[in-house]
Amino acid sequence: MDYFEKIEKNPYEDLKWNIPERKQGTVNVIGGNVGHFRTEAKVAEFLGATYPVESVKVVMPDALKSKLPTLPDFEFLPSTEAGSFTESQELLNVFNVVDFNLVLGDLSRNKVTGKAIAGACQSTEKMTLVTRDAVDVVADNEPERLLMNENLIFLASVPQLIKLLRAVYYPKMLLQSQSLVQVAEVLHKFTLSYPVRIVTLHNGQVLVAESGVVKAVALEVTGFSPITFWGGELAAKIVAMNLYNPNSFIKATVTAIKK
């Protein structure tokens, strides 16, 4: 299994030197609905305070406009009557005006919002990390087209990946009961079939997969628990390290993951 490796000591530590002294790079943190929006603002604040990013913008549905103060770092896009994103040219555009998108979730589980976010993810030409409930939302809408976008990263749970594989009738079965090696084998074959990148958590190991290569990092050395792993902070760290180390996904992501 030359495609799979457990990493104990990070061999890519030097990538941290690529973090610039001056602020550079632009990021959108996209998500929220009329009932849930605090995580997006919190993660955007963490990203801007921790890394020298030139611009971090929070993109939310305009149903939240009256609930939040007028701030330059917030952008509001057309929403449904229920208060979540709707299809619009503005949404498609916002995915292509920054260096990196972080689709953080807190999206209403309605068909209009799902189609809107999935459409933007399918067509974006910018690096985009999709995580939390956003994975479920986009998986329901033309998943085959979604998985052919080489700019997408999925930070997803194994159950979410199972759903994604089933949605495209992938012939290799993925199960929660499988061993680490078995899951790594599925990710190896899946990322050879589709150009997307994957980060997931299984049996106490964080798995990072791209183009058939799979690396594993023990959760205990990351500083995250099985709960905080999905809170948004790790997603922000992965975005930042890949922003400063383009075309080095596995190296940058392993460096972001390790404490």
- Beta-carbon contacts of 95 under 8 Å, excluding residues fewer than 6 positions away, are 28, 30, 101, 120, 121, 123, 124, 126, 128
pLDDT score of 251: 97
The residues with which 184 forms a beta bridge, in sequence order, are: none
CA distances from 257 to 18, 46, 54 (A): 16, 16, 22
Q: What is the pLDDT of residue 147?
A: 97
Residues 6+ apart with CB under 8 A from 239: 27, 47, 100, 102, 129
- Residue 74, sorted as left (phi over 0), alpha (psi -120 to 50) or beta, turns out to be beta
Reported as a single tens digit per residue, the pLDDT across 172-210 is: 999 999 999 999 999 999 999 999 999 999 999 999 999
Give the residues of the chain that fall short of pLDDT 70: 70-71
**Structure token pair of residue 171:** 């012939």
pLDDT number for residue 37: 86
Transcribe 55-114 into DSSP letters: EEEEEEEGGGGGGS---TTEEEE-B-TTSSB---HHHHHHTTSSSEEEEEE-----HHHH
Determine the pLDDT at residue 110. 85
Query: Which pLDDT does position 108 carry in this prediction?
Result: 81
Q: Could you tell me what percent of the chain has a pLDDT over 70?
A: 99
Distance from C-alpha of 250 to C-alpha of 252, rounded to nearest angstrom = 6
User: What one-letter code names the amino acid at 226?
Assistant: P
Residue 28 sits in a domain whose CATH number is 3.40.1190.20
113-130: per-residue pLDDT in tens?
999 999 999 999 999 999
Instruction: Give the chain's domain count.
Output: 1
How many Å apart are CA 245 and CA 250, to the nearest integer? 10
Q: How far apart are CA 234 and CA 40, in angstroms?
A: 13
**pLDDT score of 99:** 98
By residue range, what is the domain housing residue 112?
Answer: 4-257
The position carrying tokens 């000591």 is 9
User: Contact, 94 vs 124, CB < 8 A?
Assistant: no
